[in-house]
Amino acid sequence: MILRQIWAVYKRELGLYFRSPIAYAVAFALLLLFGLIFSSNVSQLNNRAPADNLNFIPSLLTFLMFLVGPLMTMRLLAEENREGTIELLMTLPMSETAFIVGKFFAVWTYYSVVLGLTLVYYLVLTTIGVPDHGRALGVYLGAWLYGGTVLAVTMIWSAITEDQIVAAFLGAATVLVLYLADLAAQFVNNLSFTENPEFITGLANGIRELGLTAHYNSTMFVGVIRAEDIAYFIFMIIAALFITTRIVETRRWRA
Amino acid sequence: MIEVRNLVKKYGEVTAVRGISFDAKPGQVTGFLGPNGAGKTTTMRMLTGFMPPTSGKATVAGYDVFEQSMEVRKRVGYLPESVPLYRDMTARNYLMYMGEIRGLKNVRAKADDVLERVGLTRRAQSRIRTLSKGMRQRVGLAQALLHDPQVLILDEPTIGLDPIQVLEIRDVVRQLGRDHTLLFSTHILSEAEQVCDNLVIINQGQIVAEGSPAQLRAELERGGRVLVRAEGPVEQMIAAVSAIPTVAHAEAAVEGVVVTPRDANVDPRPEIAQVVVQNGWRLVELRPLAVNLEEIFLELTRQVAPAAEEASERADADGGEGGDEAGEGAREDGAREDGAREDGAREDGAREDGAREREDEEAKS
């Protein structure tokens, strides 16, 4: 029953992505940008530079996710809030969880398609050199999980507000905070000359581990696939979806 | 079957529904009537499981709306006031989507079936954004009927429609009432009077009257007031009629002279007729004033002044006649002065619809 409901919500949302011009506009802009960067890099290649330096394309996508992610998710729940369609949905025999999970998988699928399109560059690479397939696997797996996490986190804001622009801005800010957690950790670490250095170092590590970059840029991006990184992304997705579900539930109580 | 007992809903400091109790029986249309902001929508949202009550109990189709919300939701068809639809879907796809979420089988056939019932088969493939308001309302209604629910809850289904569409929707509501438990809210009186078997009038979150339209009318007709129309000088007529022992009061109104008897059970009409004829005036009309629901409604809901709960209590303490504010007083007069009832209705801007409806009806009859 719950699977059927998730499937129904998923199907509708995914259909919307592929019927709406925004989805194509986002994909077009991204691929245009990547194409330009890729071709300029290929043209500068010489036989000393290893071809898999070009793995930066998917990781460029993960960086841009602080902008693109909120654009992908802002509509998901804010629109239902504004149009009032949520009122009807919440009087159907469906749990909030099915609704949220269906929506999330739809946007994650859309992201996966965009990410999949960047494989084109990788295919081009295989014709001009021998890229490291193992590393590419890590890069793509990481980019996929990273994207899912960003989407789940930005979806929280879409549940809170009726205004898509507000959802997008707050989403972008949140992702930036997670992205820059590394910098914050470094800053905190520089305070370790104070009276309690162990505590400060621990705090810095904690902050670092909460951020997105610690689990991607220095691990999966160089081809190191660690269980804890995968666990981090999955945990973040589940936690964000849980929070979103709770928020949708409280709307009923506050309404 | 809907049973509501002492239902209360508070939004923070504001109490929207203050302990209401009523029943809606199967095979009947129960009208939920009240001015805007009376608590109709809040009550309906509690009954459909959209929000939980603060206290009290309500059962729908035998299930508690809070404890067994999912069971209630399976058995209720709900049309919210704003008729929220996905504008970018076609009518059929929308219904199929709702059917899939409800876990129905053969959603395609069911969607086509309800589209036929609401007369939209021809527009099944149209996107909802291209449909007119009335058609959207019908798509919303189709959605509520999709799973063949025992209980239907329709929140102001005729609001914003043109007169023909209103009549159509009313017909549909009446038909559906025969084999469903149907709770239907409106702030239009004539509509409630036409469509409903049973009326619950709510104001400021409290039920102020309950019963069939006929019962409510009978209860309030006991005033026994009489309208006299005769060709003659009005001032003298009032004086002459007032002099009759069984008459308490006579006053001029638009249509003629309204006479209030001293005792509601003693009909003053024979004496009035005699007096009029003796004075040589030609009697045109002499009839009891039918109290219609609008007057009952105005009577029951006249202390609506938004922040004036205190004021209304004070007015009650003063014997119900208080009405410090000029507006209140004017409206009371409007309600009481029967000949001028159209004025009364017009004065109350919020009930324009009601007045228009009434005029329509009068034009018809």
Which residue in chain B has the smallest CA separation from A255?
A: B51
Say what the pLDDT of residue B347 is: 40
More confident residue, B88 or A151: A151
Q: What mean pLDDT comes out for the span A205-226?
A: 86
Which residue in chain A has the smallest CA separation from B88?
A: A16
Across the interface, of B51, B74, B89, the residue whose CB is closest to A93 is B74
DSSP string, B218-267: HHHGGG--EEEEEES-HHHHHHHHHTSTTEEEEEE-SSSEEEEESSTTS-
Residue B78 CA to residue B141 CA, distance in Å, equals: 8
Across the interface, of A12, A19, A84, the residue whose CB is closest to B82 is A84
- Is residue B185 classed as helix, strand or coil in its secondary structure? strand
- Could you tell me the residue ranges of all domains in chain B? 2-218, 225-288, 302-364
The total of structural domains in chain A comes to 1
Across the interface, of A1, A93, A252, the residue whose CB is closest to B73 is A93
- Is residue A120 classed as helix, strand or coil in its secondary structure? helix
| B129 CB within 8 Å of a chain A CB | no
Q: What mean pLDDT comes out for the span B34-61?
A: 89
Q: What is the pLDDT of residues B274-319, one digit of tens each?
A: 888 888 888 888 887 766 666 667 766 665 444 434 434 443 444 3
| Closest approach of A65 to chain B, Cα-based (Å) | 27
Which residue in chain A has the smallest CA separation from B97?
A: A8
| Closest approach of B99 to chain A, Cα-based (Å) | 9
CB-based contact A84 B100, cutoff 8 Å? no
Phi/psi at B208 (nearest 5 deg)? -105, -20
Which residue in chain B has the smallest CA separation from A81?
A: B84
Say what the pLDDT of residue A52 is: 53
For the ranges A54-58, A148-152, B191-195, which has the lowest average pLDDT? A54-58
Which residue in chain A has the smallest CA separation from B149?
A: A92
CB-based contact A87 B51, cutoff 8 Å? no
Say what the pLDDT of residue A201 is: 84
| B101 CB within 8 Å of a chain A CB | yes
Q: What mean pLDDT comes out for the span A58-70?
A: 86
Q: Which fold has domain B225-288?
A: Alpha-Beta Plaits (3.30.70)
More confident residue, B127 or B218: B127
Residue B174 CA to residue B171 CA, distance in Å, equals: 5
CB-based contact B50 A8, cutoff 8 Å? no
Residue A249 CA to residue A107 CA, distance in Å, equals: 21
What residues contact residue B172 under an 8 Å CB cut-off, 6+ apart?
B118, B141
Q: What is the pLDDT of residues B176-195, one digit of tens each?
A: 888 899 998 988 877 888 88
| B35 CB within 8 Å of a chain A CB | no
Q: What is the ipTM of this complex?
A: 0.85
Across the interface, of A8, A83, A253, the residue whose CB is closest to B97 is A8
Q: Would you say residue A251 has pLDDT above 90?
A: no
Q: Would you say residue B123 has pLDDT above 60?
A: yes
Residue B189 CA to residue B194 CA, distance in Å, equals: 9
Say what the pLDDT of residue B339 is: 40
CB A101 within 8 A of CB A3: no
Q: What mean pLDDT comes out for the span A163-176?
A: 94
Q: What is the largest CA-CA distance in chain A?
A: 64
Say what the pLDDT of residue B20 is: 92
Q: What mean pLDDT comes out for the span A237-247?
A: 95
- Here the tokens at position B49 are 């499981």
More confident residue, A196 or B49: B49
- Here the tokens at position B94 are 């929308």
CB A37 within 8 A of CB A60: yes
Say what the pLDDT of residue A192 is: 63
A residues 75-94 lying closer than 8 A (beta carbon) to B: 83-94
Interface test with B, best of A92, A252, A254 (most B CBs within 10 A): A92
CB-based contact B101 A16, cutoff 8 Å? no
Interface test with A, best of B9, B48, B50 (most A CBs within 10 A): B50
The total of other beta-carbon atoms located within 10 Å of residue A254's CB is 9
CB-based contact B51 A91, cutoff 8 Å? no
Model pTM? Answer: 0.77
Say what the pLDDT of residue A9 is: 94
CB-based contact B101 A9, cutoff 8 Å? yes
Q: What mean pLDDT comes out for the span B211-232?
A: 77
Say what the pLDDT of residue B314 is: 41
Say what the pLDDT of residue A155 is: 95
Kindly indicate the confidence band of residue B321, based on its pLDDT and cuts at 50, 70 and 90.
Answer: very low
Cα–Cα distances in angstroms (integers) from residue A204 to residues A180, A182, A186, B6, B221, in the given order: 13, 9, 7, 56, 81
Q: Which domain holds residue A29?
A: 2-254
| Closest approach of B2 to chain A, Cα-based (Å) | 16
Q: What percent of chain B has pLDDT over 90?
A: 27
Q: Name B28's bridge partners.
A: B181
Q: Would you say residue B327 has pLDDT above 90?
A: no
Beta-carbon contacts below 8 Å between A and B: 65
Q: Let me know the angle formed at the C-alpha of A88 by A87 and A94, rounded to the nearest 5 degrees.
A: 105
CB-based contact A87 B49, cutoff 8 Å? no
Say what the pLDDT of residue B305 is: 44
What residues contact residue B169 under an 8 Å CB cut-off, 6+ apart?
B134, B137, B138, B141, B157, B158, B161
Across the interface, of B52, B84, B102, the residue whose CB is closest to A83 is B84
Length of chain B equals 365
Across the interface, of A4, A5, A91, the residue whose CB is closest to B73 is A91
Q: Name B57's bridge partners.
A: B5
CB-based contact B102 A93, cutoff 8 Å? yes
Tell me the CATH number of domain B2-218, given options 1.10.3720.10, 3.40.50.620, 3.40.50.280, 3.40.50.300: 3.40.50.300
- Here the tokens at position A38 are 């890729």
Burial of A179 (0-12, 13-18, 19+ CB in 10 A): buried
**Which chain B positions have a beta carbon within 8 Å of A94's beta carbon?**
101-102
Exposure on the CB side of residue B42, measured as CA atoms within 13 A: 27
CB-based contact A16 B100, cutoff 8 Å? no
For the ranges A30-34, A62-66, B28-32, B260-264, which has the lowest average pLDDT? B260-264
- Helices A133-160, A227-254: axis angle to 10 degrees equals 10
Residue B5 CA to residue B363 CA, distance in Å, equals: 41
Cα–Cα distances in angstroms (integers) from residue A22 to residues A57, A74, A161, B94, B272, in the given order: 22, 12, 20, 22, 78
CB B225 within 8 A of CB B258: yes
CB-based contact B76 A91, cutoff 8 Å? yes
Kindly indicate the confidence band of residue B328, based on its pLDDT and cuts at 50, 70 and 90.
Answer: very low
Q: Name B154's bridge partners.
A: B79, B184
Q: Would you say residue B135 has pLDDT above 70?
A: yes
Q: What is the pLDDT of residues A107-134, one digit of tens each?
A: 999 999 999 988 888 888 888 777 788 8
Say what the pLDDT of residue B30 is: 92
Residue B172 CA to residue B117 CA, distance in Å, equals: 9
Across the interface, of B49, B80, B101, the residue whose CB is closest to A5 is B101
Q: Would you say residue B324 has pLDDT above 50?
A: no
